[in-house]
Amino acid sequence: MQRSKGVHARLMLDDRMRGKVWICSFGFVLVLAIIIIFNPESDTFTGITIEMWGAFIGVFAAVSLGEIIKVFEDYRIALRVRKHLTSELRNILENAKKKSGTINEYGTNFWDSAITSGELSKLDDNLFLNFSVLYTKIHGHNRTARQCESMYNQPNATPENKQYYLETVIRSEVRLERLLETVLERIRTNQVEDITGFFS
């Protein structure tokens, strides 16, 4: 339970801090409203009508509440994006292990849709970096697999050529599997600040 709480806390750190600021602001406005309602003759408010204070408090409270709702909605989206991306990567890892020794490409449908929708912007920067590096490596492997498959299927490809193309894809796949295992474990244990080994 503690680990899960930590994962969620890291997921949207900036927006959660923003949410706390708006919650405090909303609380301040409520306190101010209560003071005005129960002590309208206070010297603190001399020269300012109750109507003016009411308009100020109403507008500020509405803005604060809107921002608080937006922060929690962004946080909910971030949790969903993290869940679906992690699931997609686990499926890619499982398929890579099952199909080891052959030329394979791997789909990145949810990542692509998250880019199009802009939902990736809801993720914490470190978490986004981890996912981004993984998907960059997957796309790189897919390009390698396509090129090698094209050369493998050429009519003039010799058995030696075919073996070389196959071994090239297998090496790429082995590196991808190791990176997937490493980064998925970092995400699971909330150690997304650690980016060692990404660029080797």
Q: Is residue 72 part of a domain?
A: yes
| Residue pLDDT, tens place only, 132-152 | 889 999 999 999 999 888 888
Place of tokens 């050529």: 161
Distance in angstroms (rounded) separating the CA atoms of residues 143 and 138: 9
Q: Is residue 198 part of a domain?
A: no
pLDDT score of 194 more than 60: no
The CA–CA distances, whole Å, from 103 to 22, 51, 136, 155, 173 equal 52, 73, 18, 18, 9
Distance in angstroms (rounded) separating the CA atoms of residues 146 and 155: 16
| Residue pLDDT, tens place only, 89-113 | 999 998 888 776 678 889 999 999 9
Q: What is the domain range of residue 146? A: 2-188
Q: Is residue 200 part of a domain?
A: no
Going by pLDDT thresholds of 50, 70 and 90, the confidence category of residue 51 is: low
Nearest residue to 4 (alpha-carbon basis) of 196, 153, 188: 188
Q: Is residue 196 part of a domain?
A: no
Q: Is residue 194 part of a domain?
A: no
Q: Is residue 149 part of a domain?
A: yes
What is the 3 state secondary structure string of 96-144? HHHCCCCCCCCCCHHHHHHHHHCHHHHCCHHHHHHHHHHHHHHHHHHHH
Whether the CB-CB separation of 36 and 46 falls below 8 Å is answered with: no
Q: Is residue 197 part of a domain?
A: no
In the chain, how many domains are there? 1
Q: Is residue 82 part of a domain?
A: yes
